[in-house]
Each structure stands twice: as structure tokens, then as C-alpha cells.
Amino acid sequence: MNTRRLGSLEVSALGLGCMGMSSFYGSADEGEAIATIQRALEIGVNFLDTAQLYGPMTNESLIGEAIKGHRDEYVIATKFARRIGPDTVAGDMSTLGPVDGSAEYVRSSVEGSLKRLGTDYIDLYYQHRVDPNVPIEETIDAMAELVQQGKVRHIGLSEAAPETIRRAHAVHPITALQSEYSLWSRDVEVEILPTCRELGIGFVPYSPLGRGFLSGRFTSPDELDEGDFRRSGPRFTGENLDANLKLAAKLAEIANEKGITPAQLAIAWVLAKGDDLVPIPGTKRRTYLEQNAAAVDIMLTPEEIARIEAELPQAAGERYNEVGMAAINL
Ligand SMILES: NC(=O)c1ccc[n+]([C@@H]2O[C@H](COP(=O)([O-])OP(=O)(O)OC[C@H]3O[C@@H](n4cnc5c(N)ncnc54)[C@H](OP(=O)(O)O)[C@@H]3O)[C@@H](O)[C@H]2O)c1
């Protein structure tokens, strides 16, 4: 597998999103999840994406378990945002506190992540959501201290607004911005991606498969587990779902003509948008991991890219519900 650069950090051209192994996307088989993380390294995918939020906390512990004996061969990205306090119970989202970007919380939260991951350094530490009540300078200053202490090697932001990115980067170099980017979520092309490029910040597109929808796997929310976060997602329900099924069908038609899967086409499209992008498709299983990794060898011509973009309808519906939308682009 080729590598790419996110600012000064070198990683495999494709990462592995580990969120669904522990949260948001229904049940998962722990043994298969661990095998997937280990298989990733064997096929050259060394860039793992997790967060304190995933579980909460259980996903970091799962990764700690899976990487034992091979820590230095992986590049591990994790994130903090919502306060984990003395009453927070691993695996119980309702026990998490609000987003906290204070220097005091940055200093304490990293210790928990290091412990759960079983490591003494984090390669890339992101603020998962900007705290509107704390100046970004305070948060980044505290994250920079972690770099000086050797606990963190690079720092990043997720779903931050252009002005916040600029202010943050003025305090300490930001290595990567992680935000949603895929064929059905292209709003970052307007201002966010150009801002990252101007400042030399790498970009990590999350949910490059449109949370799985672009793979053509889902036709109804009823196919998803009871606790699956997507069951009530604006794009997975009602009239939006009907419109989005046409988008998935179109993608499948073009993929079919090329003799690849729709998921591979969706990943190849993101990869083709620039060498400074490292998508992190999520999966809980080795079969999808291997299919997705093969997408790095699929080259799309400029004509194919233009056709895909022209023929695919816009996604219907917001990316998140009202609460989720209020927490992004801050
Ligand atoms: N910063 C943020 O706010 C944020 C938000 C969301 C996600 N993320 C990160 O980004 C990562 C990726 O995003 P995501 O997991 O939300 O969405 P995604 O990568 O767009 O899609 C994941 C879904 O696609 C399915 N899938 C994967 N490969 C497939 C294939 N080849 N064929 C058919 N289906 C396939 C997965 O199935 P299975 O699970 O059944 O394998 C899962 O349901 C996450 O794991 C997480 O680390 C970050």
C-alpha cells in the first residue's frame, strides 16, 4: 500500500475507521473486529481511527488489545471532546458529560486514552468537536503542551470551521482536519478543504462510504439493528431515503460498468480528489477491509470523475439531526 502525508505525518493511503466495532452501528463481533485491526497491518493499512466517544472508551480498549506487541507499526489517531468524568461508565453514552475544550480537561483526558490504548504516545490527537465556550487558543495551547511532553506527536481538529482552523494553526501546527467528505457530502469543497490546502494541513475524510449507504447495502432503516444510530438519520429515513436510493443506484450502475464495487468506486473517488486526503472507511470485518484496501489501485480518469460528479444527484437530507448539526462547523 502506498503512503500519503498528512502535514508532516506519513500514513497508509487509506486508514481504518474503528468506530463501528464498538458503537453507533449496531452489534459487532469482538474477535472479528480484533482480527480486522490485525489484518489491516498485514495488508499495509497502518492508520487506525478511534475516539474516546466510541463506546465510550471501549473502542480505545479494543484497539489496545488488538495492537499488543505491534504498537509502533501502527499510526493511531484518537479524539477527545465530551467530558469523561468519575461517573462515566465505559459503554454507556448517557454517562458522558458535555464537550469540554478546557486546558484542564485536555491534560486529564489524554491520560485515559494512553492507558486504554496501552501506549505511551498517541500519533495524532484530535479535538473531536470544538467547544464553543472555550477559546480555541486555550485548547490548542494545552494540546501543544502534550506534544512537548511526548504524549502526543501531532494534533488535529474535527468538523472545525475555517476561522477556527486558522486560529488554531496560528498557535501550533495542525497536522490534519477530520471532517465528513464523500460523494454525498461535498460541502467541505467550498471553503474548508481550500483552507486546509492553503495552510498545508492534511485532510482525513470520514464516512467516505456515506456511513455505508453508498455501498448499496441498505434499502430501509428496518435492515439496521435496533440501536443503530443511522435508523433515525435524516438521510436514511422518509422521502430523503427514497431520493438517496436513486443516488446509490446510480453509483452502483457506474461501478458495475467498471467491474468494481460501489464501495470501491466511492473510495477511489475520494482518493482521486488529492494526495493530501487519507480516507478512513469504517468496517468491523476483514472482507470489507480487503475490498476497500484494493480501491487504492483503482485509477479514475478526469472524464470518469466528471461523469460521476455530473450524474450523481445531490444527497437529500442533512448529515446529522438538529443536535448533531449544531455541533459542527464551529
Ligand atoms: N470525526 C467524526 O466526527 C467522525 C464521525 C463519524 C465517523 N468517524 C470516523 O470515520 C470512520 C469511517 O466512517 P463511518 O464508519 O461512519 O462510515 P463509512 O466508512 O462511510 O461506512 C461504514 C459502513 O460501511 C460499511 N462498509 C464498509 N466497507 C464496505 C464494503 N466494502 N461494502 C459494503 N459495506 C461496507 C460498514 O459495514 P460494517 O460495519 O458492517 O463492516 C459500515 O456500516 C469511523 O469508523 C470513525 O472512525 C469520525
Closest C-alpha residue for ligand 1 atom 14: 207
**Phi/psi of residue 83, nearest 5 degrees:** -65, 130
What the block records as the C-alpha cell of 207 is 464516512
Residues in the chain predicted with pLDDT less than 70, given as ranges, are none
In the block, which residue shows the cell 441498505? 218
Predicted local confidence at residue 314, as pLDDT: 84
Q: How far is the CA of 180 from the centre of ligand 1 (A)?
A: 11
3-state secondary structure of 296: helix
Q: How far is the CA of 21 from the centre of ligand 1 (A)?
A: 10
The residues, ordered by sequence, that sit 6+ positions from 174 with a Cβ below 8 Å of its Cβ are 7, 140, 155, 156, 157, 165, 168, 199, 201
Is 207 close to ligand 1, i.e. is its CB under 6 Å away?
Answer: yes
Task: Please name which of 153, 187, 149, 155 lies closest in space to residue 168, comparing C-alpha atoms.
Answer: 155
Is 181 close to ligand 1, i.e. is its CB under 6 Å away?
Answer: no
Task: Please name which of 135, 114, 134 lies closest in space to residue 123, comparing C-alpha atoms.
Answer: 114
Range of the domain at 229: 3-326
Q: Which of 23, 179, 192, 207 to mutate to test the pocket of ligand 1 (most atoms within 8 A of CB)?
A: 207
126 labelled catalytic: no
Closest C-alpha residue for ligand 1 atom 28: 288
pLDDT in tens, 50-91: 999 999 999 999 999 999 999 999 999 999 999 999 999 999
Domain total in the chain: 1
Predicted local confidence at residue 313, as pLDDT: 81
Task: Please name which of 218, 277, 327 lies closest in space to residue 11, comparing C-alpha atoms.
Answer: 277
Task: Please name which of 205, 175, 199 lies closest in space to residue 268, comparing C-alpha atoms.
Answer: 205
Report how far residue 263's alpha carbon sits from residue 295's, in angstroms, rounded to the nearest whole number.
9
Q: At what angle do helices 58-66 and 103-117 cross, to 10 degrees?
A: 40
Q: How many CB atoms lie within 10 A of CB 129?
A: 21
Predicted local confidence at residue 326, as pLDDT: 96
CATH number for the domain spanning 187: value is 3.20.20.100
Q: Amino acid identity of 28?
A: A
Task: Please name which of 2, 46, 47, 45 lies closest in space to residue 298, comparing C-alpha atoms.
Answer: 2
